[in-house]
Amino acid sequence: MKNQNTIVIPENPLSRFLFNDTRSAFIWLLIRLYVGYSWLTAGWGKVQNEAWTGKYAGMALEGFLNGAMAKSQEGGDVTGWYALFLENTVLPNAKVFSFVVAYGELLVGLGLIVGLLTGIAAFFGAVMNVSFLFAGTLSTNPLLFILATWLVLAWKVAGWYGLDRWALPKLGTPWVKKKSF
């Protein structure tokens, strides 16, 4: 029973098509493959690099972090609070974060390419993009962040041409009671 004070605003046709209609899935497939390939290649390069995950793990990240902290000086590209976070949390644990970044990028890329838990993979990709942006790195991060955000919004159909087509009906959603399978 709906509350008498509830106002339901109908969704516009374009949003309904893009975010709820499987006919838009081909658009999302193209975006998913582009973003996934970008993450997969970035992650694979880091996983293969000794300075990220090998004998010298953490060295590449330390160099990146030192550059970011240098950008936090007066009028720089990195805000003070983020520089403090990098200096006090990430830098002392650079080796651990190095593995998290490298394998995180790889897993986000794989998830998007195969279309498994697409919305979750895109969300974590967007989190990494924002982290890199906060650290003063522009590169492709703004574009990938926008595309990842759209993929999060389109989670119901973005993985239609992928494993989500079968996985999501089996997993269900937290807001709908699911019969055991």
- Between CA 102 and CA 111, with CA 105 as vertex, the angle to 5 degrees is 140
pLDDT at 2: 62
List Cα–Cα distances, 53 to 39, 60, 63, 92, 125, in angstroms. 16, 10, 14, 16, 19
Q: Is the dihedral of CA 160, 164, 170, 174 positive or negative?
A: negative
Domain assignments of the chain as residue spans, ordered by start: 25-56+95-165
Mean of all residue pLDDT scores within the chain: 93
Please give the average per-residue pLDDT across 30-57, as a whole number.
98
Is it the case that residue 180 has pLDDT exceeding 70?
A: no
Integer Cα distance of 23 and 25 in angstroms: 5
Report field, pTM of the whole predicted structure over 0.85: yes
Confidence of residue 81 (pLDDT cuts 50, 70, 90): very high
Supply the pLDDT for residue 73: 84
In angstroms, the CA 152 to CA 150 distance is 5
Instruction: Give the separation between CA 117 and CA 51, rounded to whole angstroms.
Output: 30
Range 30-48 average pLDDT: 98
- What does the pLDDT read at residue 95? 98
pLDDT of 175 above 90: no
Which of these, 68, 50, 52, 72, lies nearest to 60 by C-alpha position?
A: 52
Cα distance between residue 69 and residue 161, in whole Å = 42
Q: Which two tokens stand for residue 172?
A: 């269900």
The closest alpha carbon to 121, from 150, 161, 148, belongs to 148
- The 10s digit of each residue's pLDDT in 7-28 is 989 999 999 999 999 999 999 9
